[in-house]
Amino acid sequence: AVTGAGRGIGAAIAQELARRGFEVACLVRGDAPAAPAGAPGRIARIGCDIRDPQAVADALAAADALPGGLKGIVNNAGVQQDGAARDFPLAAFEAMLATNVIGTFSVAQQGYPLLRARGGGLIVNIGSMWDKMGVRRYAAYCASKAAVAALGRCLAAEWARDGIRVLTVAPGYVDTPMTHDALEDERVRAFLKSRVPMGRAASAEEVARLVASLYGEDIAMFTGDTLYIDGGHGIGQ
């Protein structure tokens, strides 16, 4: 199951998993992406707002009822809003936490008994390279993504004996509807060229290939970690 799979990174993950033969349940508020032509896996749409616990329970039950049952969850749905910290509205801060942190936790929590009943599985939460950085105007978003990485570590520790692994995939700049306008800005492109060793933003497909590859191998000892996919941006120079 992939949350927020209607566009951007989530849609690319759903399509890459289908390309690799997985049956993918897209938990979306709008449309789900189509499976790529010739893909051996299928994509199903299940309506879900991850801020609504009952909707999450119903959606995960529906995903578990698909052929093969629930084997993994990609917590991708997320929102971003910037603004100066000095007058950032608390309601906006709470809304970001409600989706990025509580929503992610709710999906994992409600997925837990279903995965456990099937002998375990893999939860991948989409964090951010900014989880450890100080970024002007992004205090709320950075705090929410630091919390996602913390959730991953704690759930991995708590659920390891149930055969459930939890990993965080933390992208740097990725060209998606969330960031496209900013990435069109010449100054942002110049910044990426000078500061990112790879010199550019990632594509959603690159992030999707990393996430899908994690489902390709069942490595029991690999859990709790955060994997950065940022073209080397976070390692500094």
Least separation in angstroms between residue 32's CB and ligand NDP is 10
**Dihedral of the CA atoms 59, 1, 4, 204 (nearest 10)?**
-170
Axis-axis angle for helices 104-117, 53-64 (nearest 10): 30
Least separation in angstroms between residue 136's CB and ligand NDP is 16
Helix (H) or strand (E) holding 178: none
Q: Binder to ligand NDP among 63, 171, 231, 233 (CB under 6 A)?
A: 171
What distances in angstroms separate CA 83 from CA 52, 86, 128, 129, 172, one per listed residue?
26, 9, 18, 19, 19
Q: Which residue has the tokens 């010199």?
A: 199
Which of 138, 141, 215, 228 does the annotation list as catalytic? 141
Q: Binder to ligand NDP among 179, 189, 205, 234 (CB under 6 A)?
A: 179
Residues 129 to 148: which contact ligand NDP by CB under 6 A?
none
Q: Which is nearer to ligand NDP, 80 or 88 (CB)?
A: 80
Q: Is 32 in the site for ligand NDP (CB under 6 A)?
A: no
Helix (H) or strand (E) holding 55: helix 53-64
215 is a catalytic site residue: no
| DSSP string covering 28-49 | ESSPPPPPPTT-SS-EEEEE--
3-state class percentages of the chain: helix first, strand second, coil last, to nearest 5: 50, 15, 35
Residues 35 to 54: which contact ligand NDP by CB under 6 A?
49-51
Least separation in angstroms between residue 107's CB and ligand NDP is 9
Q: Binder to ligand NDP among 32, 77, 108, 115 (CB under 6 A)?
A: 77
Q: Is 178 in the site for ligand NDP (CB under 6 A)?
A: yes
Helix (H, G, I), strand (E, B) or coil at 182: helix
Query: Sign of the C-alpha dihedral, residues 222, 223, 225, 228?
Result: positive
Alpha-carbon gap, residue 110 to 75, rounded angstroms: 12
| Number of residues lying near ligand NDP (CB under 6 A) | 28
Q: Is 81 in the site for ligand NDP (CB under 6 A)?
A: no
Q: Is 225 in the site for ligand NDP (CB under 6 A)?
A: no
Residues 84 to 113: which contact ligand NDP by CB under 6 A?
99, 103
List, by residue number, the catalytic residues: 141
Chain contacts with ligand NDP (rule: CB under 6 A) = 3-4, 6-10, 29-30, 49-51, 76-80, 99, 103, 126, 128, 171, 173-174, 176-179
